[in-house]
Amino acid sequence: MTSEEPKKISKEELRQKLTPEQYDICVNKGTEMAFTGKYNNYKEPGIYRCVVCGNDLFSSNAKFDSGTGWPSFYAPLKKENIKEEIDDSYFMRRIEVNCDRCGSHLGHLFEDGPKPTGLRYCINSASLEHQAI
């Protein structure tokens, strides 16, 4: 899948489709507790997709163990499939990462990742769905 056009899904449809944790993270911009997400230590090859709309977001080839307790990637599968926005919540400035297709909250971006990008996309497992390849 690609990020062709924004996909609008009503909050009621999302409540029916997602678990309460997924809804809190994807819609309310919540976060899962560190080291509790199903993909934190997950090593299987594949593509990580948006749990809401199925947009291809990250490849297992770019996944690394950051030790932070959340799945971390040094690059998105396609830059155009994610959207970055300034997040000034909690008295700090961060870069929020969202699905460009449906607007679902995924996590945050930090500049302390490994080569080749030096970036760390810190993503909530609950916002992702793994597709084996």
> Is the predicted pLDDT of residue 2 greater than 50, yes or no?
no
For position 29, which CATH number holds? Answer: 2.170.150.20
**What are 120's strand-pairing partners?**
110
- 6 or 28, higher pLDDT: 28
Which one-letter amino acid corresponds to residue 92? Answer: M
Asked whether residue 3 is assigned to any structural domain, the reply reads: no
Predicted confidence (pLDDT) per residue in 98-108, tens digit: 999 999 999 99
Query: Token digits for 48?
Result: 């990580």
Split at pLDDT 50, 70, 90, the class of 48 is very high
Q: What is the mean pLDDT of residues 5-31?
A: 89
Beta strand residue intervals within the chain, DSSP E = 46-50, 56-59, 63-64, 72-73, 82-87, 94-99, 105-110, 120-123, 128-132
Rounded distance between C-alpha atoms, residue 102 and residue 80, angstroms: 13
Structure tokens at 10: 């009503």
33 within domain boundaries? yes
Look at residue 5 in the predicted model and tell me its pLDDT.
55
Q: Which active-site residues does the annotation give?
A: 122
Q: Could you list the residue range(s) of the whole structural domain that residue 28 is in?
A: 11-132
pLDDT in tens, 55-72: 999 999 999 999 999 999
In one-letter notation, the amino acid at residue 48 is Y
Task: Tell me how many domains the chain contains.
Answer: 1
In a domain, 6, yes or no: no
